[in-house]
Amino acid sequence: MNTKTIYLTLLTALVAAGCARRGDEAAAPPPAPLVERVVSGSISVELSINPPVVSLEQDTILTITTTAPSEMEIRLPPSLQDRLDGFIEAGYFDIPERETNGSTVRERRIRLTPLAADRWRIAPFIVNTIDNSYSPPLDGWLHTPALRLAIRQPESTANTVTFQPRLLWIAPDAAAMLRIALRYILYGMAGLLIIFAAYRLRRAVVLWRMSPRERALRELQALMQRDLIGRQQVKQFYLELTMIVRRYIERAHAIRAPEQTTEEFLLAVAGDARFSAATLARLKDFLEASDLVKFAGSRPAPAAIDNAARTAREYIEHDRISGETRSAVKGVQP
């Protein structure tokens, strides 16, 4: 036998084997339905499930066949959904009744769609019977067995595709980004307001705990650090300097000096024992010189400016407040 003949013989054998395999597969009969039957006297209820193994690619058909005497009425539940695990009832239809040997055969076919689940089960359900041969009719019932189905496993995992999800960031649209930006702006503004309110509250507490002298000296120091004279803001310097002195008098002596003119203030304290004649004279010169700068546009010499600042500091530092007066005016510190 030559080589060519051997090759032809092997090829023929392979083709014949393949055809035989395909013929066997085509000839393989489908699996028989799963059948369960309940019999009670002359009544029988048969449950048939096709295919008998759950396949997620196709629906499962449940056929309920009842056989009973013609005078018997059989009532099936209107729905089995509450008796199903791993299935959804997708609808049903009834086959027309037929008579067989004096009995009535009724058939209902229910389509069940399988779901991805841990189990596939049809729980027992009640079939009601009414015997119309009695007067009045006699009611009865019987229940079906529980049916649990297996799932068909894949024949081969050779072609299984492994999918590894990867998270992707999808940019929001313009409206969503605008809402996000506005939200963070509002958060930032709220945070700043809280910080500002906390700062103001803390500052107010610190100032409230200070004595009138400590607070006035602190205000005077802050004024001198601003260097209004060096920036040629002489009028503003005198305005704030006199207000420091006036607020000190209000806090220390309960006299509304900030709201009074110089004449009204001097008249109000003229007979006050807390202000000596020398102190009144210095305050009079200080306030009147300040009024000339604030209201008459006077241009004081550098020596006069230094003297005004020194007068304000010396008055605040050396002014005496009795204990009774301090207690009386504690509540008027603004």
Identify whether residues 313 and 227 lie together within a single domain: yes
- On whether residue 284 sits in a domain, the answer given is yes
Could you give the CA distance from residue 242 to residue 257 in angstroms, rounded to a whole number? 10
Of 27-36, 122-131, 223-232, 308-317, which range is least confident? Answer: 27-36
Give yes or no: residues 142 and 217 share one domain: no
The 8-class DSSP code of residue 54 comes to B
- Which of 8-17, 114-123, 268-277 is the most confident on average? 114-123
Yes or no: say if 172 and 145 are a contact pair by the CB < 8 Å rule.
no
Q: What is the mean pLDDT of the chain?
A: 83
Predicted local distance difference test score (pLDDT) of residue 196: 87
Residue 292 lies in a domain: yes
- State the pLDDT at residue 19: 57
Cα(324)–Cα(209) distance, integer angstroms: 18
Domain boundary among 97, 119, 149: 149
Confidence of residue 6 (pLDDT cuts 50, 70, 90): low
**Average pLDDT for 184-199:** 90
Please indicate, yes or no, if residue 12 is contained in any of the structural domains: no
pLDDT at 328 over 90: no
**CA distance linking residue 102 with residue 58, whole number of Å:** 37
Please give the average per-residue pLDDT across 182-188, as a whole number.
Answer: 92
Q: What is the DSSP letter of 247?
A: H
- Residue 115 clears pLDDT 70, i.e. is over it: yes
Residue 202: predicted pLDDT? 78
pTM: 0.41
Rounded CA-CA distance 32/150 in Å is 14
What is the spatial distance between Cα 149 and Cα 143, in angstroms, rounded to a whole number?
Answer: 19
Q: Is 240's pLDDT higher than 90? A: yes
pLDDT at 253 over 80: yes
Max mean pLDDT among 199-203, 213-217, 251-255 falls in: 213-217
Q: Strand 120-122: give its sheet, edge to edge.
A: 84-85, 120-122, 147-149
- The CATH number of the domain where 116 resides is what? 2.60.40
Q: Sheet holding 72-75: strands in order across? A: 72-75, 126-131, 138-143
92-106, 109-123, 196-210, 285-299: the lowest-pLDDT one: 196-210
Neighbours of 213 (CB within 10 A): 16
Overall number of domains in the chain: 2
d(C-alpha 258, C-alpha 248), whole Å: 9
**Residue 45 forms part of a structural domain:** yes
Residue whose C-alpha is closest to residue 133's, from 108, 107, 102:
102
pLDDT at position 175:
86
Using pLDDT thresholds of 50, 70 and 90, give the confidence band for residue 156. low
Confidence tier at 3 by pLDDT (50, 70, 90) = low
Q: What's the half-sphere exposure (Cβ side, CA atoms, 13 Å) at 231? A: 10
pLDDT over 80 at 99, yes or no:
yes
Q: Which position has the token pair 């310097």?
A: 237
Domain end point (choices 116, 149, 182): 149
Residue appearing with tokens 């009640």: 126
* Gap between the Cα atoms of 214 and 319, Å rounded: 12
Q: Are residues 224 and 307 in the same domain?
A: yes
**Residue 286 domain boundaries:** 210-332
* DSSP 8-state secondary structure symbol assigned to residue 255: -
Residue 82 forms part of a structural domain:
yes
The answer to whether residue 155 sits within a structural domain is no
Within a domain: residue 66? yes
pLDDT (0 to 100) of residue 329: 43
Q: Is the residue at 162 inside a domain? A: no
Measured CA to CA, the distance from residue 213 to residue 74 in angstroms comes to 105
Helix H or strand E segment including 100 = strand 87-100
Residue 102 reports pLDDT greater than 50:
yes
Look at residue 238 in the predicted model and tell me its pLDDT: 92
Q: Which of 97, 126, 149 is the last residue of a domain?
A: 149
Closest CA to 319 of 196, 213, 200, 194: 213
Q: Are residues 310 and 225 in the same domain?
A: yes
